[in-house]
């Protein structure tokens, strides 16, 4: 039995929240402009597309594969052609990311580091779950300095939908800790409508944070369990648990 399994078995019955799943970009860090700049170059090289910000924003929060397919569909490129060149797209992006991330500082959004520290001290297992592929998302997580707090980090290389991806990630955590999780005691934290809907479809509590590109008012329309403008107030966040 590893560390997480041991602490979980000891504390399972006493917690209102027994696990927290955090999205990465827009929730823990903010790199939208950074990603868009890299992906603009990325799509131009692989498909000779001049990527618009509006089209790129439209799929924000989707897992990587359907995100790319939606963009390419807008530009008249078939799913078959998209699938054929996806490996080249991801490899090129990973190279660009590695080069660019070496010269920038990836700072956690205000309050997020302290929240993760407090959850760690309370022995609440945390999972980082992102729609990015592992070859790019892992670079951001490592550079942020937040990886040490997570029991697992999950990437959407093969995911077809955010809800299915979350369900599989929950099962992986259950396997890790050796116990089935009560879905009503899982909190999913994210900055997009897709984060909210995936949590609700899995029977989890949801917390929307307006630190990404989706406005607070739009997030609130989808009725997350909690909706916050940001994660600056550690006490407020913890009081909801």
Sign of CA dihedral 195, 196, 197, 198: positive
**Whether 171 and 97 share a structural domain:** no
- How many independent structural domains does the chain possess? 2
**Whether 201 and 216 share a structural domain:** yes
The 3 state secondary structure assigned to the chain is: CCHHHHHHHHHHHHCCCCEEEECCECCCECCHHHHHHHHHHHHHHHHCCCCCHHHHHHCCCCCHHHHHHHHHHHCCCCHHHHHHHHHHHHHHHHHHHHHHHCCCCCCECCCHHHHHHHHHHCCCCEEEEECCCHHHHHHHHHHHCCHHHCCEEEECCCCCCHHHHHHHHHHHHHHHHCCCCCHHHEEEEECCHHHHHHHHHCCCEEEEECCCCCCHHHHHHCCCCEEECCCCCHHHHHHCC
Sign of CA dihedral 54, 56, 60, 66: positive
Where among 77, 101, 125 does a domain terminate?
101
Residues 6+ apart with CB under 8 A from 76: none
**Whether 17 and 133 share a structural domain:** yes
| Greatest distance between any 2 Cα atoms in the chain | 55
**Whether 11 and 37 share a structural domain:** no
**4 pLDDT above the threshold of 60:** no
CATH of the domain at 192: 3.40.50.1000
- Can you give the pLDDT at residue 2? 54
Where among 101, 123, 140 does a domain terminate?
101
**9 pLDDT above the threshold of 50:** no
- Can you give the pLDDT at residue 7? 43
**Whether 224 and 129 share a structural domain:** yes
Mean pLDDT of 134-144: 95
- Can you give the pLDDT at residue 8? 43
Where among 62, 79, 101 does a domain terminate?
101
Burial category of 18 from C-beta neighbours within 10 Å (exposed 0-12, middle 13-18, buried 19 and up) = buried
**Whether 116 and 11 share a structural domain:** yes
Range of the domain at 141: 3-30+107-239
**Whether 21 and 46 share a structural domain:** no
**Whether 141 and 159 share a structural domain:** yes
What does the alpha-carbon distance between residue 207 and residue 78 come to, in Å, rounded to a whole number?
36
**6 pLDDT above the threshold of 60:** no
**15 pLDDT above the threshold of 80:** no
- Can you give the pLDDT at residue 82? 87
**Whether 7 and 84 share a structural domain:** no
**Whether 79 and 143 share a structural domain:** no
Q: What b/e sequence results for 81-108 when a residue is b if at least 16 CB atoms lie within 10 Å of its CB, and e otherwise?
A: ebeeebeebbebbbebbeeebeeeebeb
**Whether 120 and 89 share a structural domain:** no
**Tokens standing for 30?**
């903010």
State the chain's mean pLDDT as an integer. Answer: 91
**Whether 179 and 62 share a structural domain:** no
pTM above threshold 0.85 = yes
Report which of residues 11 and 63 the model is more confident about.
Answer: 63
């Amino acid at each position: 039995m590893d560390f997480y399994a041991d602490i979980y078995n000891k504390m399972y019955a006493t917690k209102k929240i027994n696990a927290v799943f955090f999205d990465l970009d827009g929730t823990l860090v903010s790199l939208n402009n950074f990603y868009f700049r890299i992906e603009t170059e990325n799509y131009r090289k692989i498909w000779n597309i001049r990527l618009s910000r509006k089209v790129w924003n439209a799929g924000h929060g989707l897992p990587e594969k359907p995100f790319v397919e939606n963009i390419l569909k807008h530009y008249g490129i078939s799913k078959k052609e998209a699938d054929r060149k996806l490996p080249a797209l991801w490899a090129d992006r990973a190279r660009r990311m590695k080069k660019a991330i070496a010269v920038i500082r990836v700072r956690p959004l205000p309050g997020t580091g302290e929240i993760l520290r407090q959850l760690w001290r309370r022995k609440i297992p945390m999972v980082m779950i992102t729609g990015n592929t592992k070859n790019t998302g892992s670079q951001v997580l490592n550079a942020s300095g937040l990886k040490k707090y997570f029991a697992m980090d999950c990437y959407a290389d093969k995911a077809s939908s955010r809800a299915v991806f979350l369900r599989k990630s929950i099962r992986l955590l259950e396997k890790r800790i050796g116990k089935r999780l009560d879905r009503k005691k899982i909190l999913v934290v994210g900055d997009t409508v897709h984060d909210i809907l995936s949590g609700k479809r899995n029977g989890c509590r949801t917390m929307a944070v307006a630190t990404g590109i989706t406005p607070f008012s739009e997030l609130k329309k989808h009725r997350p369990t909690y909706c916050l403008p940001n994660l600056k107030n550690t006490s407020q966040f913890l009081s909801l648990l």
